[in-house]
Structure 1
Amino acid sequence: MLTISMVLLIEHTTGSYATAGASAAVTGVSMALCAPRAGRLADRFGQRAVLVPGIALHAAAVAVLITLALAHAPIWALFAAAAPAGATVPQVGPMVRSRWAAALDQSRSSLMATAAAFESVTDEFTFVIGPVLATALCTGVHPAAGLVTEAALTVIGGSLFAAQRRSAPRVQSSSARDAARHTSALSVPGVRALAVAFLGIGSVFGGMQVSLAAFTQEIGNPGINGVLYGIFAAGNMLSGVVYGAISWRRGPRLRLLAAYAGLATASFPLWLISSTPLLGAMGMVVGLCIAPAIITGYTLVEDLVPAAARTEAFTWLTGSVALGQAAAVTIAGLLTDHSGSHAGFTVPLIGTAAALVVLLGLRGRLVSRPRGVVAGGVIGHRPPVAVD
């Protein structure tokens, strides 16, 4: 709800999608830069120690942003307020995935893909509800109602999650923390490749948010924006359910490449469509291709990264999505202001095609790390001999 509520509020107070998109982009960049640091701190000191102060700071930052927007503050002030709003976004999603990885490590690691699919489905359920709720609140109640609700839900949900101590991963020993202090999850080549690829997923989210909002404004029916974005997210949720129920014979690297190829192909027709029903249908097809890419990426992280740096690794992917989304809302906002919503729909196509090219070039880095197996008491045997 955060970025779409920002876009709707700031567009209402400034009349510019470019300004609204740029403000949301500042939030996304700030989150992308700060999320991995928050994940690393959570790996070292525990999730609760990072989460509790984070949700309080986020609520305060959003309150400042709302106040400045309604006061018609200058653009630089909106940017200054958008930065802490993004920097303090609680990284609940990566923390949940880290808990799953810790619970399923070693003995039940084959279930990680199913757990990742389950998390994708629950995430996408919020992506179905969130845009509809944010749009309804901003257009039907008050332009700032979406951000107020986002902050309230963050505080309530974050507090409830922080209270769940039993499922939290164990905090590493002091020696492990000292070692982790000098080792970043980004030092794993596969994580770097995935982080670059997830920029493409962010370009889809950001490009769709701005372009759908501009499209519904152009046709004189802004209230349907949340419905169209919800259909897009519903496709994502549906594919997550199906993906998690299938026992895949192909390896995750091949599945990831196939998912990105499908995503780039599905994004191509968006900028050519003028019909609202057809745009909704095509948006669902795009959504169907997102969940497999996200799920497979998170599954690969569980294999590529040791437990001591796993939350940080997940936040690199989340941060990459936010960074890609930030760039997309900025570029799509400029394009829609200049040439209309059809130009904005080219952003998901370009972003996913570029991510596919990168993945093809770096596919050799997406090789799972070997599980450490300690063999104790190995005895050397003499070669067999024939016995009468």
Structure 2
Amino acid sequence: MTSPYRAIFAAPGTRAFSAAGLVGRMPLSMLGVGIVTMISQVTGQYGLAGALSATVALSGAAVGPQVSRLVDRYGQARVLRPTAAVTVVSVLTLLAAVRGGAPHWLFFVCAVGIGATPSLGAMVRARWSAIHRGAPELLHTAYSFESVVDEIVFILGPILSIGLCTVWFSEAGPLLAAAFLGIGVLLLTAQRGTEPQPHPRAHHAGGSALRSPGMPVLIGVFVGTGSVFGAVDVITLAFADERGHKPAASLVLATYALGSCLAGLAFGLIRPRGTAQGRFLLGVCLMAVSMIPPLLVGNLVFLAMALFFSGLTIAPTMVTSMNLVERLVPRAKLTEGITWTSTGLAIGVALGAALAGRVTDAHGASAAFAVPACAALLAATVAGLGYRRLHPAPEREEPRGGYDDGHGTIGAHDAVDGHGGVA
């Protein structure tokens, strides 16, 4: 492991909570595509599959930030266990309903419950922020590492979920995802030494993290970005199915995540130049340009190549986004702030998956690649119009004698303790 990555793991407990986060985040890439695969296997209706995936995402968009607000207020252990239990029970009920041929309305009820899935990525990033708050370069590397973990999840998750659903039995992918969630939450919440301190009083004043400057802009961009992700998942599965190689869809999606994974590893080794706002705008625009090649491909090999190069733009943009959130919201609301970006993604995934499913059913998978291309253009437009509003929260403003390196403002009065945090 190269030195910047070795440095972030010097603090006790960091390896353990990051590993738990990896396990607990597997449903992030497994549940949606697993439900799509399962429903398409059983019913052959991509429209229904996309609608269920969209319902899960919309439910998560509504419930996720509220769960994270409770986490900021009461702590991770007290909140994550019961919410994860709701998700696991909902997944098991959905699988039983599909297996038993229950009416479709019951599928949607279960999908709403699945939306209670807690954002393990936000929980892990909140722990990194608490540990390395006084060292912005280490925090940048930590966020880069977690972006790589996200991409590992998106490499392995679709392969496992689609592969198990198509090779073993239709419900196998979502079933394994539920097991990963339960195990990951239990492992993470058992580690109390690195859990951020709750802030019960801070949540009586100031309202939601949404009131912080620039958060609506970030969320709008993430809606467009999520639409790209949701649409690409559904379309790639249908694209492979049309060509008689449905299981190969997992490998194509893995190349998409692999590109982002490699870019994230490289990004964590450098000290980015310029402002975080400027890097954010550049990254979103490059993501938009990268969605043009998939419109032109005609087979799975070229689609995999196009998505790999598109993936190279993802991780640096996501890392920069997390650095912006860390600046935009008060520390007492950091978990909620990070989750709001996930909420924007979830809303986008819902819209992208549903629209892509309908366009695919009506016009075929190749034509449906216009959906993620338009969504990426929308994200770039929102970023271009609103990036000047990405100002830090009052407590993150540069104090006298401080400096801003583009990752966060560090003042001369901030004393760094032995764990890399601010004393």
TM band (smaller chain) = over 0.9
CA distance in 1, matches of 2:31, 2:397: 39
Residue type of the alignment partner of 2:357: G
Out of 39, 43, 50, the position equivalent to 2:72 is 43
Check whether the contact 1:332–1:343 (CA below 8 A) recurs between aligned residues.
no
Out of 276, 280, 286, the position equivalent to 1:252 is 276
Structure 1 partner of 2:329? 305
Alignment of 1:209-220 (within 5 A): 209-220=233-244
Residue type of the alignment partner of 1:100: W
Alignment of 1:64-213 (within 5 A): 64-86=93-115, 88-105=116-133, 107-172=134-199, 174-179=200-205, 182-213=206-237
Structure 1 partner of 2:258? 234
CA distance in 1, matches of 2:224, 2:138: 26
Following TM superposition, by how much is the alpha carbon of 1:231 offset from its aligned partner in structure 2, in angstroms?
Answer: 0.6
Structure 1 partner of 2:11? none
Structure 2 partner of 1:29? 58
CA distance in 2, matches of 1:286, 1:348: 12
CA distance in 2, matches of 1:13, 1:275: 26
CA distance in 1, matches of 2:31, 2:48: 16
Following TM superposition, by how much is the alpha carbon of 1:130 offset from its aligned partner in structure 2, in angstroms?
Answer: 0.4
Out of 34, 46, 62, the position equivalent to 2:91 is 62
SS, match of residue 183 in structure 1:
coil
1:317 and 2:341 are equivalent in the alignment? yes
SS, match of residue 362 in structure 1:
helix
| Structure 2 spans left out of the alignment, 5+ residues | 1-29, 402-423
Out of 246, 261, 279, the position equivalent to 1:222 is 246
CA distance in 1, matches of 2:300, 2:379: 28
Residue type of the alignment partner of 1:96: V
CA distance in 2, matches of 1:347, 1:73: 32
TM-superposition CA deviations, 1:176-233 (whole Å, max 9, x none): 2422xx5110001311110110112211211111011001101101110100001111
Higher Cα radius of gyration: 1
Q: Share of identical aligned residues, percent?
A: 36
Q: Any runs of at least 4 consecutive aligned residues in structure 1 with deviations exceeding 4 A, and if so which? A: 372-375
Following TM superposition, by how much is the alpha carbon of 1:123 offset from its aligned partner in structure 2, in angstroms?
Answer: 1.1
Give the alignment's Cα RMSD to 1 decimal: 1.4
CA distance in 1, matches of 2:225, 2:317: 8
CA distance in 2, matches of 1:244, 1:224: 31
Following TM superposition, by how much is the alpha carbon of 1:346 offset from its aligned partner in structure 2, in angstroms?
Answer: 1.4
1:16 and 2:45 are equivalent in the alignment? yes
Alignment of 1:263-282 (within 5 A): 263-282=287-306
TM-superposition CA deviations, 1:2-55 (whole Å, max 9, x none): 000000111122211010000110000000111110110000000111111112
- Structure with the higher fraction of residues in helix conformation: 1
SS, match of residue 207 in structure 1:
helix
Residue type of the alignment partner of 1:42: V
Following TM superposition, by how much is the alpha carbon of 1:374 offset from its aligned partner in structure 2, in angstroms?
Answer: 8.2
Change (3 A) 1:175 1:77: closer
Change (3 A) 1:74 1:271: farther
TM-score by length of 1: 0.93
CA distance in 1, matches of 2:364, 2:62: 31
Residue type of the alignment partner of 1:160: L
TM-superposition CA deviations, 1:140-160 (whole Å, max 9, x none): 110000011000111111110
SS, match of residue 98 in structure 1:
helix
CA distance in 2, matches of 1:304, 1:315: 13
CA distance in 1, matches of 2:42, 2:301: 30
Check whether the contact 1:210–1:344 (CA below 8 A) recurs between aligned residues.
no
More deviation in 68-77 or 353-362?
68-77
Structure 2 partner of 1:382? none
CA distance in 2, matches of 1:337, 1:245: 44
TM-score by length of 2: 0.85
Check whether the contact 1:201–1:290 (CA below 8 A) recurs between aligned residues.
no
CA distance in 2, matches of 1:203, 1:13: 25
Q: Report how many residues are paired.
A: 370
Residue type of the alignment partner of 1:357: T
Following TM superposition, by how much is the alpha carbon of 1:372 offset from its aligned partner in structure 2, in angstroms?
Answer: 6.6
More deviation in 32-41 or 108-117?
108-117
CA distance in 1, matches of 2:75, 2:140: 24
